[in-house]
Amino acid sequence: MAHIRRVSTLFDCTDVCPEGYDPLGSIDPVFQTNSWGFFENPYYTTDSATMDDILFQYDITICQSQANFGVKASRPQAWAKNIVAVGGVNHRDTLTTTDDSWLHPDPPECVLQLPASHGPAEDNRIKPDFTHFFDEVSTTDNGNTFTDCFGGTSAATPITCGYFGLFYQMWSAGHFGNFVSPACDPQIMNCVFEHRPHMTTAKAMMINTSRMYVFAGQFPPNPDLTRDKQGWGLADVGKLYVHGVGDKFKLIIDETDLVDAVQTAAYLITVDAGAYELKVTLVYADPMGDPKATRAFINDLNLALRSPSGALYWGNTGLLDANWSQPGGAPNSIAVDTVENIFVQSPGAGQWKVGVSTKGINEDGHVETPALDADFALVVSVDFDCNGNLSPDSFDIAHFPTTWPDSNNNGVPDACESP
């Protein structure tokens, strides 16, 4: 439920509220996509803070285009902590993703003058959150016409948010083992809205199952597809769907647990022998930041993971350099991202312990209770790579269903089922 906390002094919410948001409940959207925004700059401005306030209060997914300037100049809304910011990548009109590039390696047919704007935010938070196609996008055009030359983050953003829409439909069908009310009648009610999870959970589910581009470290001379260009990659609802049928989500916390200065949330995850990947995603909604502050965060929640042998991982450690986490390091307290991931390759069998903690709450992140505390979305998934091609079973089934069919619909390719 929308928890009204305050309205920005700069803009009354009626100016900039999610389009279509209707407190009377006749429309009840679960997401909005914005390929527009205010003047591009590299800073967390009052517009960024206003958007954070809107999202904190109304708890709706909003996707925001980063912009098309090839530098950090971006829509201020894209720097908001609680938004889904979308950058751009050129697919180069080929099906394979191995030639995809943030840079512009092609002649300028259907390619904008500059590449997509990128992150990180001024306080080093990872942005954008996702990327998607920037060039040669086929779509409807003004009037009753068609174009095969649409592009920019104005294309990447609605593509990404459309995938969020599919996620919400899957959730409403109880696809992830989540509870949905059998009393909801789609003939008379908007069950997708009635059943919707928190926006943080939607973002966490999509990031946890995204398709990330391999990249060559964060430092020059390899600037292409770094984390600050691709974010957490391409939304992949194919993998997301198979994760649901294969019961590969081991934990989904939809803002039901709380942390504060003394209380930590901890969960045991059993990983079977031979697993290919263990992926842990934390997303929390943070109250609007202060544009004058050097960092946008208000509360600092930290994600940790302890292996059965005692190795300790912290959120986002190692993920600026590659798509797999590294143990060691320190809590994510320099950049203070509100999205923290730990992705472990070949995690090893046993009990893994996931922890969410904070050293203190600066402003109430869970306004349903008077105490100073914070809630969060937490998603944990485990997948295998039974055919040894360095891609998880869910991905193979979703993207190569002819080669890797899954006839009994259990998330394991036929070729790997025990006889």
Tokens 């965060």 correspond to what residue? 297
- Of 39 and 400, which CB lies nearer to Ca ion in the complex structure? 400
Please, what is the minimum distance in Å from the beta carbon of residue 231 to Ca ion?
18
Q: Does 94 bind Ca ion (CB under 5 A)?
A: yes
Please, what is the minimum distance in Å from the beta carbon of residue 259 to Ca ion?
11
Q: Does 345 bind Ca ion (CB under 5 A)?
A: no
Q: Does 406 bind Ca ion (CB under 5 A)?
A: yes
- Of 75 and 229, which CB lies nearer to Ca ion in the complex structure? 229
In this structure, the number of other CB atoms found within 10 A of the CB of residue 183 comes to: 8
Q: Where are the alpha helices (DSSP H) in 280-404?
A: 393-399
Selected from 46, 299, 325, 391, the binder of Ca ion by CB under 5 A is 391
In this structure, the number of other CB atoms found within 10 A of the CB of residue 403 comes to: 12
| Residues 346-360: b if buried by 16+ CB within 10 A, e if exposed | ebeeeebebbbbbee
Sequence-distant (≥ 6) Cβ neighbours of residue 319 within 8 angstroms: 227, 325, 341, 343
Q: Does 256 bind Ca ion (CB under 5 A)?
A: no
Please, what is the minimum distance in Å from the beta carbon of residue 305 to Ca ion?
23
Q: Does 248 bind Ca ion (CB under 5 A)?
A: no
Tell me the per-residue interface mask from 350 to 369 with Ca ion, x by CB under 5 A, - otherwise.
Answer: --------------x-x--x
Please, what is the minimum distance in Å from the beta carbon of residue 135 to Ca ion?
10
- Of 46 and 394, which CB lies nearer to Ca ion in the complex structure? 394
Sequence-distant (≥ 6) Cβ neighbours of residue 16 within 8 angstroms: 50, 51, 54
Tokens 């990548």 correspond to what residue? 89
Sequence-distant (≥ 6) Cβ neighbours of residue 189 within 8 angstroms: none
Q: Does 242 bind Ca ion (CB under 5 A)?
A: no
Q: Does 243 bind Ca ion (CB under 5 A)?
A: no
Euclidean distance between CA atoms 342 and 305, whole angstroms: 8
Q: Which stretch binds Ca ion (CB under 5 A): 28-36, 125-133, 147-155, 393-401?
A: 393-401
Tokens, residue 88: 């751009």
Q: Does 375 bind Ca ion (CB under 5 A)?
A: no
Q: Does 396 bind Ca ion (CB under 5 A)?
A: yes
Please, what is the minimum distance in Å from the beta carbon of residue 248 to Ca ion?
13
Please, what is the minimum distance in Å from the beta carbon of residue 171 to Ca ion?
23
Per the document, the length of the chain is: 419
Residue 121's nearest CA partner among 362, 301, 291, 371 is 291
Instruction: Name the residues that contact Ca ion, by CB under 5 A.
Output: 91-92, 94, 99-100, 364, 366, 369, 371, 373, 385, 387, 389, 391, 396, 406, 408, 410, 412
